[in-house]
Amino acid sequence: MHQLLQQIFSGLAAGAIYASLALALVMIYRATNLVNFAQGEMAMFSTYIAWTLVNAGLPFWGAFLITLAVSFLGGMAIERIVIRPVENAPILAAVVVTIGLLLIFNSLAGWIYSYTLQEFPSPFPDRPLFGALMTTRDIGVIAVTLVVLAVLFCFFRFTTTGLAMRAAAQNPESARLCGIHVGRMLAIGWGLAAAIGAVAGIMVAPALFLDPNMMSGVLLYAFTGALIGGITSPVGAVIGGLIVGVTENLVGTYLIASQLKFTVALILIILVLLFRPNGLFGTAIVRRV
Q: How far is the CB of 230 from another protein (least distance, A)?
A: 14
Our finding on whether 257 is near another protein (CB under 8 A) is: no
For the CB of residue 164, give the shortest distance to another protein in the complex, in Å.
6
List phi, psi (to 5°) of 120.
Answer: -115, 130
Closer CB to another protein, residue 167 or residue 207? 167
- Residue 160 is a binding residue for another protein (CB under 8 A): yes
84 binding another protein? (CB under 8 A): no
By CB under 8 A, residue 285 contacts another protein: yes
**By CB under 8 A, residue 31 contacts another protein:** no
Can you name the residues that pair with 129 across neighbouring β-strands?
A: 134
Q: For residue 63, state whether it binds another protein (rule: CB under 8 A).
A: no
Residues numbered 161 to 200 that lie near another protein (CB under 8 A) are: 163-164, 166-167, 170-171, 173-182
Give the sign of the dihedral formed by CA 158, CA 164, CA 168, CA 173. Answer: positive
Does 288 engage in binding with another protein (CB under 8 A)?
A: yes
Q: In the set 56, 81, 257, 286, which binds another protein (CB under 8 A)?
A: 286
Distance in angstroms (rounded) separating the CA atoms of residues 120 and 117: 9
In the complex with another protein, the residue whose CB is nearer, 188 or 198, is 188
Which residue number, 170 or 263, has a Cβ lying nearer to another protein? 170
Nearest approach, Cβ of 33 to another protein (angstroms)? 15
Q: How far is the CB of 167 from another protein (least distance, A)?
A: 5
Considering beta carbons, is residue 27 or 214 the nearer one to another protein?
27
Size of the site for another protein (CB under 8 A): 21
The least distance separating another protein from the CB of residue 152, rounded to whole angstroms, comes to 17
Q: Tell me if residue 128 falls in helix, strand or coil.
A: strand
Tell me how far apart the alpha carbons of residues 30 and 52 are, in angstroms, rounded to a whole number.
Answer: 33
| Residues in Cβ contact with 276 at an 8 Å cutoff, skipping those fewer than 6 apart | 230, 282
Choices 120-128, 212-220, 259-267, 279-287; region in contact with another protein by CB under 8 A: 279-287
**Farthest CA pair distance, the chain:** 59
SS3 percent helix, strand, coil of the chain, rounded to 5, is 75, 0, 20
Q: Which long-range contacts (CB under 8 A, 24 or more apart) does 78-82 make?
A: 78/42, 78/190, 78/194, 79/186, 79/187, 79/189, 79/190, 79/191, 80/187
Q: How far is the CB of 27 from another protein (least distance, A)?
A: 15
Give the torsion through C-alpha atoms of 269, 270, 275, 279, to 10 deg: 20
Is residue 244 within 8 Å of residue 43, measured between CB atoms?
no
Binding site for another protein (CB under 8 A): 160, 163-164, 166-167, 170-171, 173-182, 285-288
